[in-house]
Structure 1
Amino acid sequence: MKRNFLIIPATILILAMSGCAQDSGGPKVNSDLTVDEAKRSTQAMAQTLAQLVPVELVSAVDQDPDGVLIKCGGDREYQWTGMTRVTLSPEVPYDGNEVTQDIAAQYRDASPYHARLGETSDGEPRVQVFQETGEDHLLSRSVDKSTIEIVSFSPCFTLAEGMSPSEKY
């Protein structure tokens, strides 16, 4: 458990840097989007992605109720970040290439989303589903091989005055 405690923040930090580094020089800021709307839509997409994992592979889906904010631009510009875990059934063999390729195929040309295949640092297949808004979801199997982790980033938004970026949302 202590190992996951360290891996998750490190993963979020690394992915945060890649999530904000879009080809257009950074995500556009949606100043009309609130932190609650950003969280709600990002969590909904993470749930949609979790449902694309073949049901026979899944023993549970758990979504963290809260996430944290990371900087994505200028003053008071943030992304909400969160985690969804798909616990894999130990009785059914997991083919990461097949799962990630199937998810990527669904979003490769599904505007406004795009998909990109890759690998984690330990060689696990990974799929990134993203929008030009900066919304970004990375799916890959956990280091201990028991779950698929979906690390999610909302579009970039302006945090309302009076709200603290150091709070959990």
Structure 2
Amino acid sequence: MTGRPSRWGLVACVAVVVSVLTGCAQKDDGVDKTLTIDQAKSQTQEVEMRIIELTPATYVADVRQQPEGVLLACSPTSVTWAGGATLTVQSDPDFTKILTDIQTAFNADPAYTTIMDTDYHGDPVLTIHDTAGSQWIVRPMKRGATLDISSSSPCFATPDGMQRSDSY
């Protein structure tokens, strides 16, 4: 290994960025003018934790929620907060069942919509959207060694003194 990101890792990152930008464009003007960066981060991470809590504890060896995310551009004057979490798994979990159970829980709440798909390896990929424009992508990675959550908040006005690609 050369220390460079794998091709799949780059594809996943590009998919998240494209999904974030698409999600922002679906709103009237693409920007929640009342949302602060702290609220965006907090709300997005709260749902990451809800996803983690819906994963059976018998399969969870370790949980690492990213303490910081990055600001991605939605428009010249707005950004989204993008972060994530990783669950290291144990005991050979059935990822399809886990993601189906998570999907069922979120589908019970009218604030969320979900899409279950598969990646080119045939592994399940769950995408969760909320009515505000946030998104979470949940999928097994590293040959089934982890369950990864990539997340993004709704678009909001770029905070004073900050710009896209800043960490927060």
TM-score clears 0.5 = yes
Given that 2:134 and 2:154 are in contact with CA atoms closer than 8 Å, whether structure 1 keeps it comes out as yes
Task: Map 1:154-169 to 2 at 5 A.
Answer: 154-169=153-168
1:116 aligns with 2:115: yes
Distance in 2 separating the partners of 1:8 and 1:63: 18
The alpha-carbon deviation at position 41 of structure 1 amounts to: 1.0
Distance in 2 separating the partners of 1:10 and 1:121: 11
With over 3 angstroms needed to count, the CA separation of the structure-2 counterparts of 1:44 and 1:79, relative to structure 1, is: same
The alpha-carbon deviation at position 57 of structure 1 amounts to: 0.4
Whichever residue aligns with residue 85 of structure 1, its letter is T
Given that 2:136 and 2:151 are in contact with CA atoms closer than 8 Å, whether structure 1 keeps it comes out as yes
Q: Give the superposed CA RMSD.
A: 2.1
Whichever residue aligns with residue 83 of structure 1, its letter is G
Given that 1:108 and 1:116 are in contact with CA atoms closer than 8 Å, whether structure 2 keeps it comes out as no
Corresponding residue for residue 41 of structure 1: 43
Structure 2 unaligned segments of length 5 or more: list them.
none
Distance in 2 separating the partners of 1:87 and 1:19: 25
Whichever residue aligns with residue 82 of structure 2, its letter is T
Corresponding residue for residue 149 of structure 1: 148
The alpha-carbon deviation at position 32 of structure 1 amounts to: 1.2
Corresponding residue for residue 125 of structure 2: 126
Task: Map 1:57-72 to 2 at 5 A.
Answer: 57-72=59-74
> Could you tell me the TM-score, scaled by structure 2's length?
0.88
Given that 1:64 and 1:83 are in contact with CA atoms closer than 8 Å, whether structure 2 keeps it comes out as yes
The alpha-carbon deviation at position 20 of structure 1 amounts to: 3.0
Given that 2:71 and 2:163 are in contact with CA atoms closer than 8 Å, whether structure 1 keeps it comes out as no
Given that 2:133 and 2:153 are in contact with CA atoms closer than 8 Å, whether structure 1 keeps it comes out as yes
Aligned length, in residue pairs: 165
Whichever residue aligns with residue 26 of structure 1, its letter is Q
- Report the identity percentage: 25
Structure 1 unaligned segments of length 5 or more: list them.
none
1:12 aligns with 2:13: yes
The alpha-carbon deviation at position 49 of structure 1 amounts to: 0.5
**Aligned partner of residue 114 in structure 1, secondary structure:** strand
Alignment deviations for residues 12-40 of structure 1 (CA, whole Å, 9 cap, x no partner): 22122123324x95244111111121011
**Aligned partner of residue 31 in structure 1, secondary structure:** coil
Distance in 1 separating the partners of 2:103 and 2:20: 17
The alpha-carbon deviation at position 93 of structure 1 amounts to: 2.2
> Could you tell me the TM-score, scaled by structure 1's length?
0.87
Which 10-residue stretch deviates more, 24-33 or 146-155? Answer: 24-33
Distance in 1 separating the partners of 2:99 and 2:83: 20
